[in-house]
Amino acid sequence: MTQHAAFLEEVSPTPASYLQAARRVHAGEIPGLRELRVAVLSTVSAQMLQPYLIVEGARRGFRVVPWFAPFAQLEEQVLDATSPLYAGNPEVVAVFARLEELAPALCERFGAVATEDAALLEVVLRRLRALLCGLRERTTAALCLANFPPPARPLAGLGDAMLARSQATMVQEANAALAAACREVPGAFVFDYARTVVEHGLAGWHDARLFALARQPWSVEAQIATAGALVRTLRAVFVAPAKCLVVDADNTLWGGVVGEDGLGGIALGDDYPGNVFKAFQKYLRTLKDRGVLLALVSKNEEADVRSVLEQHRDGVLHEGDFAVRRINWREKSVNLREVAAALNLGLEALVFFDDNPFEREEVRRLLPGVTVLEAPHEPLAFIAAIEDSSLFDQLILSAEDQQRAALYRRHAAATAASQAAASPEEFLAGLEMVATIGSVGPETLPRVAQLLAKTNQFNLTIRRHSAAQLAQMIEAGAVALWLRLADRFGDHGLVGVALARPAAGTPQPDLLIPQPPPVRPGPSSVVPNSAWIIDTFLLSCRVVGRGAETALLAQLAGCVRARGGAELTGEYVPSARNGLVADFYPRHGFGACGENRWMKRLSDATATPSYIRTQFHE
Binding site for another protein (CB under 8 A): 12-17, 19-20, 23, 47-48, 51, 209-210, 212-214, 216, 220
Closest CA to 155 of 189, 83, 105: 105
Q: How far is the CB of 219 from another protein (least distance, A)?
A: 9
Measured from the CB atom, the residue of 48 and 130 that comes closer to another protein is 48
Work out the angle at residue 131's Cα, subtended by the Cα atoms of residues 139 and 197, and round it to the nearest 5 degrees. 105
Measured from the CB atom, the residue of 17 and 403 that comes closer to another protein is 17
Q: How far is the CB of 47 from another protein (least distance, A)?
A: 6
DSSP H/E element including 39: strand 34-42
Distance CA 187, CA 234 (A): 12
Q: How far is the CB of 153 from another protein (least distance, A)?
A: 20
Measured from the CB atom, the residue of 51 and 609 that comes closer to another protein is 51
Q: How far is the CB of 23 from another protein (least distance, A)?
A: 6
Distance CA 521, CA 304 (A): 66
Measured from the CB atom, the residue of 222 and 258 that comes closer to another protein is 222
Measured from the CB atom, the residue of 26 and 337 that comes closer to another protein is 26
Measured from the CB atom, the residue of 208 and 576 that comes closer to another protein is 208
Measured from the CB atom, the residue of 158 and 212 that comes closer to another protein is 212
Q: How far is the CB of 226 from another protein (least distance, A)?
A: 15
Distance CA 516, CA 505 (A): 17
Rg for the chain (alpha carbons), in Å?
A: 27
The answer to whether the beta carbons of residues 352 and 246 sit under 8 Å apart is yes
Distance CA 510, CA 499 (A): 16
The beta strands (E) that lie in 444-596 are given as 479-487, 490-502, 531-539, 567-571, 591-592
3-state secondary structure of 90: coil
Q: How far is the CB of 55 from another protein (least distance, A)?
A: 13
The answer to whether the beta carbons of residues 39 and 69 sit under 8 Å apart is yes
Distance CA 261, CA 519 (A): 67
Q: How far is the CB of 141 from another protein (least distance, A)?
A: 25
The answer to whether the beta carbons of residues 119 and 68 sit under 8 Å apart is no
Q: How far is the CB of 3 from another protein (least distance, A)?
A: 23
> Following CA atoms 507, 508, 514, 515 in sequence, which dihedral angle do they give, to the nearest 10 degrees?
-80
Measured from the CB atom, the residue of 9 and 618 that comes closer to another protein is 9
Measured from the CB atom, the residue of 163 and 214 that comes closer to another protein is 214
DSSP H/E element including 194: helix 193-200
Measured from the CB atom, the residue of 46 and 497 that comes closer to another protein is 46
C-alpha separations of 578 from 241, 462, 519, 568, 610 in Å = 20, 9, 21, 21, 27
Distance CA 191, CA 581 (A): 38
Q: How far is the CB of 30 from another protein (least distance, A)?
A: 18
3-state secondary structure of 158: helix
Q: How far is the CB of 144 from another protein (least distance, A)?
A: 23
Measured from the CB atom, the residue of 9 and 475 that comes closer to another protein is 9
DSSP H/E element including 144: strand 142-146
CA atoms within 13 A on the CB side of 604: 10
Q: How far is the CB of 264 from another protein (least distance, A)?
A: 54
DSSP-derived pairing of the beta strands 479-487 and 490-502: antiparallel
Closest CA to 121 of 197, 174, 84: 174
The answer to whether the beta carbons of residues 33 and 58 sit under 8 Å apart is yes
Strand order in the sheet with 350-353: 324-328, 293-299, 244-247, 350-353, 371-372
Measured from the CB atom, the residue of 14 and 515 that comes closer to another protein is 14
Find the distance separating the first CA and the last CA of the chain, reported in whole Å: 48
Q: Which residues pair with 571 in a beta bridge?
A: 597
Q: How far is the CB of 201 from another protein (least distance, A)?
A: 18
Q: How far is the CB of 69 from another protein (least distance, A)?
A: 15
Measured from the CB atom, the residue of 50 and 398 that comes closer to another protein is 50
